[in-house]
Amino acid sequence: MSKVTVAKFGGTSVADAEAMRRCAAIVTQTANTRVVVLSASSGVTNLLVDLARGTLSAAEQEIHLKKLKSIQDNILTELGNPSPLRETIDSILKEIADMARQANQNSDAALEDRLVAQGELMSTRLFTEMMNQLGHKAVWFDVRKIMRTDSRFGRATPAIEAIHNLAQQDMAPLLKDHIVITQGFIGANADGQTTTLGRGGSDFSAALLAEALGVDELEIWTDVPGIYTTDPRLVKEAHPIPEITFSEAAEMATFGAKVLHPATLQPAVRKGIPVFVGSSKDPAAGGTWVRESTESSPLFRAVALRRNQILLTLHSPNMLHACGFLAQVFTILAKHGISVDLITTSEVSVAITLDQTGSQSSGRSVLNETVLAELNAFCKVKVENDLALVALIGNRMSEVNGVGTQVFDAVSEHNVRMICYGASTHNLCFLVPESDASLVVQKLHQRLLGH
**262 binds Mg ion per the rule CB under 5 A:** no
CA-nearest of 365, 376, 373 to 337 is 365
366 is an interface residue for ligand ADP by CB under 6 A = no
Q: Which does 267 bind (CB under 5 to 8 A by kind): ligand ADP, ligand ASP, Mg ion, none?
A: none
Phi, psi of 314 (to 5 degrees): -115, 120
b/e sequence 316-344, b meaning 16+ C-beta within 10 Å: beebeeeeebeebbeebbeeeebeebbee
The binding track of 5-24 with respect to ligand ASP, each residue x by CB under 6 A or -, is -----xx-------------
Q: Closer CB to ligand ASP, residue 142 or residue 237? A: 142
Closest CA to 163 of 175, 151, 147: 147
Q: Which stretch binds ligand ADP (CB under 6 A): 121-129, 153-161, 226-234, 293-301?
A: 226-234
Query: Which residues, numbered 183-222, are part of the site for Mg ion (CB under 5 A)?
Result: 200
Could you give the CA distance from residue 231 to residue 208 in angstroms, rounded to a whole number?
A: 25
| Region near ligand ASP per CB under 6 A, out of 39-47, 322-330, 340-348, 393-401 | 39-47
* 250 binds ligand ADP per the rule CB under 6 A: no
DSSP output for 67-78: HHHHHHHHHHHH
Task: Determine the length of the chain.
Answer: 451
Instruction: Tell me, by CB under 6 A, how many residues bind ligand ASP.
Output: 12
Contacted by 184, from Mg ion, ligand ADP, ligand ASP, none: CB < 5 to 8 Å by type:
ligand ASP
The residues pairing with 430 across neighbouring beta strands, listed in sequence order, are 390, 419
- As measured in angstroms, the least distance from the Cβ of 212 to ligand ADP is 21
Write the binding mask 26 to 45 for ligand ADP: x where contact by CB under 6 A, - elsewhere: -------------x------
C-beta of 74 vs 165, nearer to ligand ASP: 74
Helical (H) or strand (E) element with 179: strand 179-183
List the single partner that 40 binds among ligand ASP, ligand ADP, Mg ion, none, CB under 5 to 8 Å by kind.
ligand ASP
Q: What letter does residue 347 receive in the DSSP assignment?
A: S
Q: How far is the CB of 170 from ligand ADP (least distance, A)?
A: 26
What are the φ/ψ torsions at residue 310 (nearest 5 degrees)?
-110, 130
Q: Under 8 Å CB-to-CB from 87, ≥6 apart: which residues?
A: none
12 binds, options Mg ion, ligand ADP, ligand ASP, none, Cβ within 5 to 8 A by partner type = ligand ADP
Question: Whole-number minimum distance, CB 14 to Mg ion, in Å?
Answer: 12
Q: What is the DSSP letter of 52?
A: H
Spatial neighbors of 416 by CB under 8 A, at least 6 apart, are 408, 430, 431, 432
Residue 130 interacting partner from ligand ADP, Mg ion, ligand ASP, none (CB closer than 5 to 8 Å by kind): none
User: Is 341 an interacting residue with respect to ligand ADP (CB under 6 A)?
Assistant: no
Residue 395 CB neighbours (<10 A): 18
Site for ligand ASP in 181-240 (CB under 6 A): 184-185, 199-202
39 binds ligand ASP (CB under 6 A): yes
Measured in whole angstroms, the distance separating CA 5 from the mean position of its chain's CA atoms is 20
**Cα 388 from Cα 209, distance rounded (Å):** 32
Cite the beta strand spans of 200-266 per DSSP E. Answer: 217-222, 243-245
- Binding residues for ligand ASP (CB under 6 A): 10-11, 39-40, 45, 119, 184-185, 199-202
Contacts to Mg ion by CB under 5 A: 10, 200
Chain positions contacting ligand ADP, by CB under 6 A: 10-13, 39, 200, 222-224, 227-228, 230-233, 257-259, 302
